[in-house]
Amino acid sequence: MPAWLKNAVFYEIYPQSFYDSNGDGIGDINGITEKLDYIKDLGCNAIWMNPCYDSPFMDAGYDVRDYTKVAPRYGTNEDLINLFNVAHQKGIKILLDLVPGHTSDTNPWFTQSKQPANNEYSNRYIWTKSVWDAPPEYRMLCGITDRDGNYMVNYFSSQPALNYGFHEITCPQWQLPCDHPDCLATVEALKDIMRFWLDRGADGFRVDMADSLVKNDDEKVATARIWKGIRQMLDSEYPQAAMVSEWCNPVRSIYKGGFHMDFYLDHRGNGYSTMFRYEVDGEDKSFFSPNGKGDITVFTDEYVPNLKATKDYGYISMFTSNHDIPRMTKNLDETARKLAFCTIFTMPGVPFLYYGDEIGMRYQEELTSKEGGFSRTGSRTPMQWTNGKNLGFSTAAEDKLYLPVDHSHNAPTVDSLRGDKDSIFNTVKDIIKIRKDNEDLGNDGDFEVLYAERNKYPFVYKRGQFVIFVNPSSEEVQVDFDYEVKEVLYTIGTGCFEDEKMKLGKQSFGIVRI
């Protein structure tokens, strides 16, 4: 396990929207380098960057044309290497985004694979034997190449699926087993991509759709086996390199697959979803909604067993938001978001802060889709730095921006919130500092649920010598509390402890030492 993960707090950067250093309207790598001190001042000591590789940008860079070349709109390979170096001087680690399941249909591998004549890349992707063979249970593109066959795609039509084999062979005419030499060659090509960037200073990878490699692998046995082998490579060659998976199954990802971290994703109806973003028949039933209609036990019943099963092997990572889901501003007011963020940053595991969440950037629902963003586009707008032109993101003309900035009259910015001690910006800074200053509240600390009852409030949990309580509802609540409070470390709202009772005001949060 990389030692630095013990104290890691990540900041996710969507590079095209973070900071434009050259005035062309698109964020870039040098812009990230310029803002490293800002990230460090927040309390974050690690960065996850969304893809910065050469791409036709049909899916915002998740359609990779060249894994070993930085997209020109972001800069050069040398710019990225310089970012690694400067970040390391400031004590900041950087994970790149690894896209292992598919490439762009303009990738040279695919250009060769779609040729009629057999070559070393013919089986790099998944092809049927004939253009007339397009099984409906798979996503196939039919009859659009000279090769007599149809190819599988993972997501958009421009993203042909790489071939790691099939765990269960149902069509032996064209499905290869995972141990076929051509499938093993795909794994080796992936390792070589990782080595390329690790050798140049990257500190690891966030892995896109990590559970999607092997097909017909419902239990993900063969997929986990591939990642376990990659983890063995890292342990041998790059022991301080880390991987976090987009999987949301810690037992499969961490315990069986060897990932160091697994994201707790926003899957509708799961524990994370019902905490922060859960609408039913037009009504918000998120636990953190002040309407008090949430159910914390959906979270605890799912989270606690997974934590116990994997805590000795890796970390469950919770995030404030990410590039694929609406920001919490869509459904939660500022106080609710403060409580939510304070809870996330006092939980075990390695936490992730999405750029702009620290200033309350809003989710812009009205935007036209950009580069395959569709409903996700509203979470990918430019970072809001100042009250000046383009809110400090870029000096370009407004019509040249990657996406429009927030034009609301009260759009939050770093400059406008930095001096306000009660702002969400300073709440985030404060809670991260408290986490870092108190080992029991950190990534490895113990976790015990003290109060979590179905359809009731509050949520109370213990981490070592600290008890954390959160009451997101708009009603005062009271629960039994038989600990002696030695120190009140941090509060939002009101709370008091007397007669072996804990009385919590509406929308309140607190940390006490017992």
Domain carrying residue 506: 447-513
**Is the domain of 88 the same as that of 115?**
no
Q: How far apart are alpha carbons 111 and 105 in whole angstroms?
A: 7
Q: How far apart are alpha carbons 30 and 422 in whole angstroms?
A: 32
pTM above 0.75, yes or no: yes
For strand 261-263 and strand 315-317, is the pairing parallel, antiparallel, or unpaired? parallel
Tell me, yes or no, whether 318 lies in a domain: yes
The mean pLDDT of 478-500, rounded to a whole number, is 94
Determine the 3-state secondary structure of 248 from DSSP: coil
**Is the domain of 231 the same as that of 310?**
yes
Question: Cα 353 from chain centroid?
Answer: 9
What b/e sequence results for 449-461 when a residue is b if at least 16 CB atoms lie within 10 Å of its CB, and e otherwise?
ebbbeeebbbbbb
Instruction: Name residue, tokens 């509050």.
Output: 458
Say what the alpha-carbon torsion angle 437, 462, 510, 261 is, to the nearest 10 degrees. 60
Q: How far apart are alpha carbons 35 and 40 in whole angstroms?
A: 9
In angstroms, the Cα distances linking 363 to 307, 356, 425 are 31, 10, 17
**Is the domain of 271 the same as that of 335?**
yes
- The residue from 412, 439, 466 where one domain ends is 439
Q: How far apart are alpha carbons 166 and 218 in whole angstroms?
A: 11
How many domains is the chain partitioned into structurally? 3
**Is the domain of 93 the same as that of 113?**
no
Contact 40, 77 (CB under 8 A): no
**Is the domain of 389 the same as that of 502?**
no
CA angle, 256 as apex, 251 and 257 as ends, to 5°? 105
| CATH code of the domain in which 9 resides | 3.20.20.80
The neighbour count for residue 335, using CB atoms within 10 Å, is 20
**Is the domain of 96 the same as that of 118?**
no
| CATH code of the domain in which 498 resides | 2.60.40.1180
Tell me, yes or no, whether 224 lies in a domain: yes
Q: How far apart are alpha carbons 452 and 33 in whole angstroms?
A: 43
Contact 484, 513 (CB under 8 A): no
Tell me, yes or no, whether 175 lies in a domain: no
Q: What are phi and psi of 265, to 5 degrees?
A: -85, 165
The mean pLDDT of 22-36, rounded to a whole number, is 98
pLDDT in tens, 83-135: 999 999 999 999 999 999 999 999 999 999 999 999 999 999 999 999 999 99
Tell me, yes or no, whether 502 lies in a domain: yes
Assigned token pair, 139: 């996503």
Nearest to 94 by CA among 186, 188, 11: 11
| CATH code of the domain in which 125 resides | 3.90.400.10
The mean pLDDT of 216-230, rounded to a whole number, is 98
**Exposed / middle / buried, residue 99 (Cβ in 10 Å: 0-12, 13-18, 19+):** buried
- The residue from 439, 469, 490 where one domain ends is 439
Assigned token pair, 377: 């586009």
Q: What is the pLDDT at residue 447?
A: 98
pLDDT in tens, 440-468: 999 998 999 999 999 999 999 999 999 99
**Is the domain of 426 the same as that of 481?**
no
**Is the domain of 127 the same as that of 74?**
no
**Is the domain of 463 the same as that of 326?**
no
* Contacts of 407 by beta carbon, 8 Å cutoff, 6+ apart: none
Say yes or no to pLDDT of 499 above 90: no
3-class secondary structure for 264-323? Answer: CCCCCCCHHHHHHCCEECCEECCCCCCCCCCCCHHHHHHHHHHHHHHCCCCEEECECCCC
Q: How far apart are alpha carbons 341 and 354 in whole angstroms?
A: 11
Q: How far apart are alpha carbons 156 and 143 in whole angstroms?
A: 17
Tell me, yes or no, whether 174 lies in a domain: no
**Is the domain of 136 the same as that of 247?**
no
Say yes or no to pLDDT of 303 above 90: yes
Tell me, yes or no, whether 394 lies in a domain: yes
Average per-residue pLDDT in the chain?
97
Q: What is the pLDDT at residue 213?
A: 98
**Is the domain of 111 the same as that of 194?**
no
Q: Which of 51-55, 66-70, 366-370, 499-503 has the lowest mean pLDDT?
A: 499-503
In angstroms, the Cα distances linking 132 to 39, 121, 150, 156, 403 are 54, 22, 8, 21, 42
**pLDDT class for 433, splitting at 50, 70, 90?**
very high
The mean pLDDT of 303-318, rounded to a whole number, is 98
**Is the domain of 192 the same as that of 269?**
yes
Tell me, yes or no, whether 134 lies in a domain: yes
Tell me, yes or no, whether 205 lies in a domain: yes
Nearest to 74 by CA among 95, 58, 53: 53
pLDDT in tens, 131-156: 999 999 999 999 999 999 999 999 99
pLDDT exceeding 70 applies to what percent of the chain?
100
Instruction: Name residue, tokens 């990572």.
Output: 317
Say yes or no to pLDDT of 225 above 90: yes
- The residue from 163, 195, 215 where one domain ends is 163
In angstroms, the Cα distances linking 232 to 72, 235, 245, 266 are 33, 5, 16, 29
Q: How far apart are alpha carbons 136 and 219 in whole angstroms?
A: 21
Helix axes 334-344, 424-437, angle to 10 degrees: 20
State which H helix or E strand residue 188 sits in: helix 181-198
Q: What is the pLDDT at residue 462?
A: 98
